[in-house]
């Protein structure tokens, strides 16, 4: 297999930090090359150099593509050569159709007028190639995140891609959607298209990668050939610079009496008001317990969590919440916070943080009264609180003045947790708390969860990663189609048992429909 890409001695510096230090990378034609490393290791920076986001002249080193030394001054230059990057945050316009999105900026036109017939025909061909059955005129807003990811890939194919770069493409996908995308990469490999896959999901990388390159602290540490198989422990060791003997911190649970109970909680979809997104859900949570909620994407887990937290999703229809034996009013977010609840969203960038503000400004946000004097924020107290949590939760940053947008995903998640911990909750609902963060940062988040439970806090953890739930929780509920369809102690749980609960509930629902 000949080499399609070489990056030699790439060095990229920002004020006060060297993001890449003499990094080299070689990708063969028609291979899937995985690029892994902790958050902040330099993976995305390296790909931005390659794609021209950081233009030639702003870095040192050489890019050789198809045997020629290249100088890309923007994304248009790299795309012209067939290098297409799909970022973690999808760049689609929700209110435009699939066809309009695929050819946005690359319109099929004659005499300056868009040829809609040709656009629709070509879109249908591309959708068939990525396995989507949607019509070209379907609005992107009506697609799930998995299908939107496939639209992005169809868009890349429309530009005659030769090297496809995917940055965390499955971070928001469930297991079945992830498998569809990974199978598509295998098809591209068979067609001679090369791919660079950035992912924290080592099990997925093991399924498809031909080669793995590990970055750590802005340097290339190792490159592994996967033809004979690769051990995840070896990859983790190179990523974090030490063996990680255990993925999950050891824990001795001290679970007390029931502190929180939800009975027959029912919530309708905010637009499709005849559809229940949470359907008569009941659960209990005990003091010092880590309770997991498992389920496929769309099962209703996030809808349940958000609706409990001040009815911040959908239309509440029925049900009651009991806190320490008394009915509690959770009808608004302030009332939920006053009752001792906190909710760390799955989308930390859109809803968890004010990204252009500093750590100092973000940490106290959920409890401003505690740092205010007569309604005016005390800047000295604000700084003390932010610095206290920066040290206590080990947020890696230059100072509390660093904007949160410049932090790695793991450290952004720590700021979100700090914000809610400062509010002094008794019950924390953590929705996908480790999404998009590396294995080392995950361990630190798991340790925080363990320590909170040991201090008597009660936690509800929602996660799409079943091994994670099996590794950190005491008890599990399984959700499907808005209903809780199973409960079992984590000690008795397996991935197979969880999936069988979901499948049985599907069969039961289909039987009821046909009956």
Which residue, among 335, 333, 381, has the nearest Cα to 361 in the 3D structure? 381
Give the pairing of strands 32-36 and 194-198: parallel
What is the end-to-end Cα distance of the chain in Å, rounded?
Answer: 57
**pLDDT tens readout for residues 445-459:** 999 999 999 999 999
Give the model's pLDDT for residue 347.
Answer: 82
Give the model's pLDDT for residue 110.
Answer: 84
Whether the predicted pLDDT of 41 surpasses 90: no
Whether the predicted pLDDT of 443 surpasses 90: no
Whether the predicted pLDDT of 245 surpasses 70: no
Domain edges within the chain: 3-240, 258-340+425-514, 357-424
241 Rama class: left (phi>0) / alpha (psi -120 to 50) / beta: left
Residue 334: how many CA atoms within 13 Å on its side-chain side?
Answer: 2
Cβ(87)–Cβ(131) under 8 Å?
Answer: no
Structure tokens at 2: 């000949």
Query: Taking CA 511 as the corner, what is the angle to CA 506 and CA 513, rounded to the nearest 5 degrees?
Result: 95
CA 59 – CA 19 distance, rounded (Å): 10
**Mean pLDDT score, 404-412:** 85
Cβ(115)–Cβ(109) under 8 Å?
Answer: yes
CA 487 – CA 226 distance, rounded (Å): 39
* Contacts (Cβ under 8 Å, ≥6 apart) of 33: 25, 27, 194, 195, 196, 197, 209, 210, 211, 212, 213
Give the model's pLDDT for residue 112.
Answer: 84
Cβ(1)–Cβ(29) under 8 Å?
Answer: yes
Give the model's pLDDT for residue 244.
Answer: 62
DSSP 354-387: -TTSBHHHHTTGGGGGGGEETTEE-HHHHHHHHH
pLDDT: which is higher, 154 or 439: 154
CA 238 – CA 136 distance, rounded (Å): 44
Q: Mean pLDDT check: name the lowest of 116-125, 371-380, 409-418, 504-513.
A: 504-513
Question: Which of 3.40.50.620, 3.40.50.300, 3.50.50.60, 2.40.128.20 would CATH assign to domain 3-240?
Answer: 3.40.50.300
Cβ(255)–Cβ(288) under 8 Å?
Answer: yes
Give the model's pLDDT for residue 81.
Answer: 93
Whether the predicted pLDDT of 9 surpasses 90: yes
Whether the predicted pLDDT of 340 surpasses 70: yes
**Mean pLDDT score, 360-374:** 93
**Mean pLDDT score, 223-237:** 84
* Contacts (Cβ under 8 Å, ≥6 apart) of 364: 370, 371, 377, 382, 385, 386, 419, 422
Give the model's pLDDT for residue 124.
Answer: 93
**pLDDT tens readout for residues 175-203:** 777 888 888 889 889 989 999 999 888 88
CA 41 – CA 438 distance, rounded (Å): 10
Where b means 16+ CB within 10 Å and e means fewer, 7-18 reads beebbbeeeeee
Q: Mean pLDDT check: name the lowest of 77-86, 264-273, 286-295, 499-508.
A: 499-508
**pLDDT tens readout for residues 63-105:** 999 999 999 999 999 999 999 888 877 788 989 999 999 998 8
Q: Quick check: do 3-240 and 258-340+425-514 share a fold?
A: yes
Query: CB 137: neighbour CB atoms within 10 A?
Result: 12
Which residue, among 153, 225, 144, 223, has the nearest Cα to 182 in the 3D structure? 153
**pLDDT tens readout for residues 248-273:** 888 889 999 999 999 999 999 888 88
What's the mean per-residue pLDDT of the chain? Answer: 89
Q: What is the CATH number of domain 258-340+425-514?
A: 3.40.50.300
* Contacts (Cβ under 8 Å, ≥6 apart) of 114: 107, 108
Give the model's pLDDT for residue 511.
Answer: 65
Q: Residue 156: which pLDDT band, with cuts at 50, 70 and 90?
A: confident
Which residue, among 250, 251, 248, 254, has the nearest Cα to 455 in the 3D structure? 254
Give the model's pLDDT for residue 123.
Answer: 93
Give the model's pLDDT for residue 66.
Answer: 94
Q: Residue 236: which pLDDT band, with cuts at 50, 70 and 90?
A: confident
> Alpha carbon of 423 to those of 259, 369, 401, 404: distances in Å?
18, 10, 21, 19
CA 325 – CA 266 distance, rounded (Å): 20
> Alpha carbon of 212 to those of 26, 83, 198, 221, 467: distances in Å?
11, 19, 10, 11, 23
* Contacts (Cβ under 8 Å, ≥6 apart) of 163: 4, 5, 27, 65, 82, 83, 84, 193, 194, 195, 196
Whether the predicted pLDDT of 439 surpasses 80: no
Give the model's pLDDT for residue 384.
Answer: 95
Structure tokens at 221: 């540490």
Which residue, among 205, 84, 107, 208, has the nearest Cα to 154 in the 3D structure? 84
* SS3 assignment, position 14: strand
Residue 248: how many CA atoms within 13 Å on its side-chain side?
Answer: 13
Q: Residue 229: which pLDDT band, with cuts at 50, 70 and 90?
A: confident
pTM: 0.70
Whether the predicted pLDDT of 510 surpasses 70: no
């Amino acid at each position: 297999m000949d080499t399609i890409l070489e990056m030699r001695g790439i060095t990229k510096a920002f004020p006060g930090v060297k993001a890449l230090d003499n990094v080299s990378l070689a990708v063969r034609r028609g291979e899937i090359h995985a690029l892994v490393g902790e958050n902040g290791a330099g993976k995305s920076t390296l790909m931005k150099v390659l794609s021209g986001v950081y233009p030639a002249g702003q870095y040192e080193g050489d890019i050789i593509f198809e045997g020629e030394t290249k100088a890309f001054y923007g994304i248009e230059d790299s795309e012209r050569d067939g290098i297409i990057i799909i970022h973690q945050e999808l760049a689609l316009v929700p209110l435009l159709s699939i066809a309009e999105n695929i050819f946005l900026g690359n319109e099929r036109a004659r005499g300056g007028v868009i040829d809609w017939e040709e656009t629709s025909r070509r879109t249908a061909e591309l959708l068939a190639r990525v396995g989507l059955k949607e019509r070209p005129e379907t609005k992107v807003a009506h697609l799930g995140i998995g299908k939107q990811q496939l639209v992005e890939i169809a868009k890349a194919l429309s530009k005659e891609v030769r090297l496809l770069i995917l940055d965390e493409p499955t971070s928001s996908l469930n297991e079945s959607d992830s498998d569809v995308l990974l199978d598509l990469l295998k098809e591209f490999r068979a067609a001679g298209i090369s791919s660079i896959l950035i992912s924290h999901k080592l099990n997925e990388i093991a399924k498809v990668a031909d080669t793995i390159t590990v970055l750590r602290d802005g340097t290339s540490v190792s490159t592994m050939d996967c033809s004979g198989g690769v051990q995840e422990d070896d990859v983790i060791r190179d990523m974090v610079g030490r063996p990680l003997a255990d993925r999950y911190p050891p824990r001795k649970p001290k679970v007390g009496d029931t502190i929180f109970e939800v009975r027959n909680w029912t919530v309708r979809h905010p637009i499709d008001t005849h559809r229940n997104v949470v359907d008569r859900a009941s659960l209990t949570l005990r003091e010092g317990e880590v309770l997991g909620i498992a389920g496929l994407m769309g099962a209703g887990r996030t809808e349940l969590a958000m609706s409990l937290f001040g009815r911040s999703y959908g239309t509440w229809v029925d049900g009651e919440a009991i806190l320490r034996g008394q009915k509690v009013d959770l009808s608004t977010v302030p009332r939920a916070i006053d009752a001792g609840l906190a909710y760390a969203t799955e989308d930390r960038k859109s809803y968890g943080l004010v990204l252009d503000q500093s750590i100092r400004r973000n940490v106290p946000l959920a409890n401003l009264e505690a740092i205010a004097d007569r309604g005016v924020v005390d800047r000295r107290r604000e700084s003390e609180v932010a610095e206290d949590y920066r040290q206590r939760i080990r947020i890696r940053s230059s100072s509390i003045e660093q904007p949160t947008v410049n932090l790695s995903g793991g450290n952004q998640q720590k700021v979100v947790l700090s914000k809610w911990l400062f509010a002094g909750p008794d019950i924390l609902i953590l929705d996908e708390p480790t999404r998009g963060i590396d294995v080392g940062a995950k361990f630190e988040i798991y340790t925080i969860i363990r320590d909170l439970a040991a201090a008597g806090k009660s936690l509800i953890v929602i996660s799409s990663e079943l091994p994670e739930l099996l590794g950190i929780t005491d008890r599990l509920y399984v959700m499907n189609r808005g209903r809780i369809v199973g409960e079992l102690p984590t000690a008795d749980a397996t991935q197979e048992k969880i999936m069988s609960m979901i499948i049985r509930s599907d069969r039961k629902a289909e039987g009821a429909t046909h009956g």
